[in-house]
Amino acid sequence: MRDTHREFKDRLYGQLARLGKAIASPHRLEIVELLAQGERTVDSLATEIGLSLANASQHLQALRQAALVESRKDGLFVYYRLSDPDVFELSKVIRTVAERRLAELDRLVHEHFGNRADAELVPMDELLKRARSKQVVVLDTRPASEYVAGHIAGAISIPVEDIQRRLKELTKGKEYVAYCRGPYCIYADRAVEILRAHGRRARRLGQGFPEWRSAGFPVSQGAEPGGVR
């Protein structure tokens, strides 16, 4: 009986270790966080991360073999998506533990983003209250395709590269909260910097769209019905 139980434990933890092995790669962790924004083709993932198509495909196959991603074919293109919302939760837990336990991560983030104290990061619950009362305009600074796949309900899509061109639409009398893919995405920081440089009141959401959706806050899909308000 004892030998049978030992065999069970070995096989059990072997299955759990499959997940750890599947995400034990910087590129695969990034792929998971990108797919948390919405499904993507192999080509777009390869371009985003700076990999060859063959290398990106190998990483996706490793994730697929561990049942962390799924795929569908549409014409000549193969689209990948997370197999379950908990896959993003897994990557978020890894990030949270790293933030708490790895001093090197804190140094790395500070070197890249500087002191974010001036950015006045907005907590998700505060944004929810202020957005509902129409006190702020919420800006989604991710690529438009990611906005269409899913976004904070009521948010306006203005990709960060379009902020400068569309400043006239963003009047000085309002307050803006920008968000993007997550806490280490630079899009919202750049948007806030541009807006403030042009006399707008702007802050960034402390988290990103996947964290907002994971918390159960209101989300929408599709393009804005009437363009920018």
Q: What's the pLDDT score for residue 1?
A: 66
CA angle 194, 186, 217 (to 5 degrees): 100
pLDDT category at 12 given cuts 50, 70, 90 is very high
Give yes or no for residue 9 having a pLDDT over 90.
yes
206, 121 Cβ separation under 8 angstroms:
yes
Tally of CA atoms within 13 A in the half-sphere of 57 that contains its CB: 6
In 3D space, the residue among 149, 123, 145, 147 whose CA is nearest the CA of residue 136 turns out to be: 123
Q: d(Cα 135, Cα 156) in Å, to the nearest integer?
A: 14
Strands 77-82 and 40-41: antiparallel
Q: Span 56-63, mean pLDDT? A: 97
State pLDDT tens for residues 143-181.
999 999 999 999 999 999 999 999 999 999 999 999 999
In 3D space, the residue among 99, 143, 122, 109 whose CA is nearest the CA of residue 212 turns out to be: 122
Q: What's the pLDDT score for residue 228?
A: 43
138, 155 Cβ separation under 8 angstroms:
yes
Q: Span 63-76, mean pLDDT? A: 96
Q: What's the pLDDT score for residue 225?
A: 52
Give yes or no for residue 188 having a pLDDT over 90.
yes
Q: Span 39-67, mean pLDDT? A: 97
Q: Give catalytic residues, as residue numbers.
A: 180
Q: What's the pLDDT score for residue 119?
A: 63
Q: What's the pLDDT score for residue 226?
A: 41
Q: d(Cα 61, Cα 138) in Å, to the nearest integer?
A: 36
State pLDDT tens for residues 89-147.
999 999 999 999 999 999 999 999 887 766 679 999 999 999 988 889 999 999 999 99
Q: Looking at residue 38, what DSSP letter applies?
A: S
pLDDT category at 227 given cuts 50, 70, 90 is very low
For residue 169, which amino acid is it? E
pLDDT category at 79 given cuts 50, 70, 90 is very high
Q: Span 48-61, mean pLDDT? A: 97
115, 99 Cβ separation under 8 angstroms:
no
